[in-house]
Structure 1
Amino acid sequence: MHVLWLTAHPEPRSLNGSLFRDGVRLLREQGHEVRTSDLYSMNFNPVVTADDFSHPAEERLIVGRAGQEAVRRRTLAPDITAEHDKLTWADTLIVQFPLWWYGMPAILKGWFDRVFVGGFAFGVRDAQGGQLRYGEGALAGKRAMVIVSAGAREAGLGPRGINGELNELLFPLQHGTLWYAGIDVLPPVLVHGADRIEQADYPFRAGMLHQRLEDLPHTKPLPFRRQDSGDYDDDLILRPEFSPRVTGVAAHYRSS
C-alpha cells in the first residue's frame, strides 16, 4: 500500500504521538510505503484565504469557485499542492486525532478546508453534468481509516452511551467528507479512556492498533449508500422502500 498518515496532536510525547510513530514503523516493516503529514510539527496553516488561490484582492472571493479555478490554472498555494501530491500518490489515508468537543482539532478541520478543494476532491461531473459524489468522484478508489482517541469510556461511545455512538459522531468526516469525495471508509479505531491510560496499559492499546493496521488491506469498508445506486430519488431523498422505518444517520447505511 501507499499510505498517507495524517495526524493532529500538539504534543509529540502524547499517546497519539506514540501511536503515530509505532503505526508508521509497523506499516513500513510490513513493506508498505508511508508518507506523513504531522500538522502541528509542520505548523500547517488551517485558515482559508484568497492567497490560497492567488485570487485578486479586489474581486469577491467565492471559495468553491476560486478553488476550482486555481486547480485548473495550477495557482494553488504551494503548501496545498504539496498535500495534493501526497494524496494523489496514496491509495490509503489514515486520519488520526483526539476527539475535542465532538470534533477534530481546528488545525485538522482547516487541512480539509484548504486541501479538499473543488476541482481536486470534489466537483467531478458525469457525461450528463451530474455531480459524482458519495461513493463516486475525484478520489474514488482510495480507502481511509480514522483513528480517534477520546477521554470517554468505551461504553460511553456505544449505541446507548451518553456521548453518542462513535460512527454517528464521525459521520460528518467519514460520510460527509471522505465518502463524499469517493473514498471508501473503513470502520474507525477508537482509543477510549485516553486520559486515564497508564504506561503499563500502552502495549495493549498499541497491539490493538497494530492488529487493525495488519488487517488494513483486507478490511471491508462501512456500507454507506452510493448516491447513484438508485437508493435516492432526484432530490437525493432515500426512497421509501429502503429502510422505511429508519431515519437520520442510520438510514444512509445499506442493511445488506
Structure 2
Amino acid sequence: MRVLVINGNPKPASLCQGLALSYALGARAAGHTLRVREVGQLDYEPDLRHGYDAPAPLEPDLLQMQHDLQWAEHLLLVAPVWWGTLPARMQGLLERVLLPGFAFRYHAGRAQPEPLLAGRSAELMITLDTPAWYYRYWQGAPVERQLRRAVLELVGIKVGRCRYLGPVRSADDARRARWLDEAKTLGATLI
C-alpha cells in the first residue's frame, strides 16, 4: 500500500515527529511504500488571505503535497492539540492544499460538495497535554471531529482509528518509548 505520513507539528524534534517516523518504520517493515512529510519543513504561506475567492498560486511544496495525496492510498496524520485545535501551520496546510477542483467540487443545487479524493483511508494520532479522557469527553474531541467529519471525509477520505496520546507534558521516558513502540506497531498493522 502507498502510505503518506504527515507530521502536523511544526516544531523540530517533537514527539509527533518521533511517532510519525516510528509509524513509517513499522509500515516499511510490513512492505508498504512510504512518503513522510513534515509541516515544519515545508516552505509555504499558511494563510489563505482571500479564502477561496481569489486563487493563490501554490508553492512547490504544496504542489508536491497535492501530488502526494493523489499518490497515497492511506494517510496517517500525526498532530498535537494546541489550544484545543490544530497548530496554525497545519490548519493552513489543509486550507491551502485541499482546494476546490482538487479535493472537492461544488455543484449547483447540492448542499454537499462532490469529494474528489475518494478511495483513500486515513488514521489519526493526536498528542495532548491533557488527559485523553478529558479531551475526548469533556472538551468533545474537536480536532478529531474537525479532521474526520469536516475535512477528510468531506473530500472522500475515510477515517478509521484515532489514537490519543497524553498527557505528553508529564509523560516519562518509559511512557514516551511505549508510545513510539505503539506507533511502530500501528504502522505494521495499518488499516
Which bin holds the TM-score, normalised by the shorter protein? 0.7 to 0.9
Q: Does 1:110 align with 2:92?
A: yes
| CA contact 1:9–1:40 (8 Å) conserved in 2 | yes
In structure 1, C-alpha distance between the alignment counterparts of 2:89 and 2:150, rounded to whole Å: 18
| CA contact 1:124–1:137 (8 Å) conserved in 2 | no
Q: Does 1:177 align with 2:190?
A: no
Q: Residues 184 and 96 (structure 1 numbering): CA distance in 2 closer, same or farther, change over 3 Å?
A: same
Post-superposition Cα deviations, 1:14-73, rounded to whole Å, max 9, x if no partner, equal 222221221212211211111122011224431225xxxxxxxxxxx6x43544xx8xxx
In structure 2, C-alpha distance between the alignment counterparts of 1:124 and 1:214, rounded to whole Å: 37
Post-superposition Cα deviations, 1:135-163, rounded to whole Å, max 9, x if no partner, equal x620111111111100111332343x3xx
Specify the SS of the correspondent of 1:187.
Answer: strand
In structure 2, C-alpha distance between the alignment counterparts of 1:184 and 1:204, rounded to whole Å: 27
Tell me which structure has the larger Cα radius of gyration. Answer: 1
Cα RMSD of the aligned pairs, angstroms, is: 2.3
Greater strand proportion: 2
Q: TM-score, normalised by structure 1?
A: 0.67
Percentage identity across paired residues of the two chains: 25
Specify the SS of the correspondent of 1:114.
Answer: helix
Match of 1:230 in 2: none
Match of 2:11 in 1: 11
Q: Does 1:143 align with 2:121?
A: yes
- Counterpart among 35, 51, 64 of residue 82 in structure 1: 64
Runs (5+) with no aligned partner, structure 2: none
Specify the SS of the correspondent of 1:170.
Answer: helix
**Which structure 2 residues correspond to residues 1-256 of structure 1 after superposition, within 5 A?**
1-49=1-49, 63-67=51-55, 76-123=58-105, 125=107, 130=110, 133=113, 137-159=115-137, 161=138, 164-166=139-141, 168-217=142-191
In structure 2, C-alpha distance between the alignment counterparts of 1:191 and 1:21, rounded to whole Å: 16
Q: Which runs of 4+ in 1 moved over 6 A?
A: none
Tell me how many residue pairs correspond in the alignment: 191
| CA contact 2:22–2:183 (8 Å) conserved in 1 | no
Shift of 1:187: 2.2
Q: Residues 131 and 82 (structure 1 numbering): CA distance in 2 closer, same or farther, change over 3 Å?
A: farther
Q: TM-score, normalised by structure 2?
A: 0.87
| CA contact 1:28–1:34 (8 Å) conserved in 2 | yes
Runs (5+) with no aligned partner, structure 1: 50-60, 218-256
| CA contact 1:94–1:145 (8 Å) conserved in 2 | yes
Q: Residues 44 and 209 (structure 1 numbering): CA distance in 2 closer, same or farther, change over 3 Å?
A: same
Structure 1 stretch displaced more, 138-147 or 22-31: 22-31
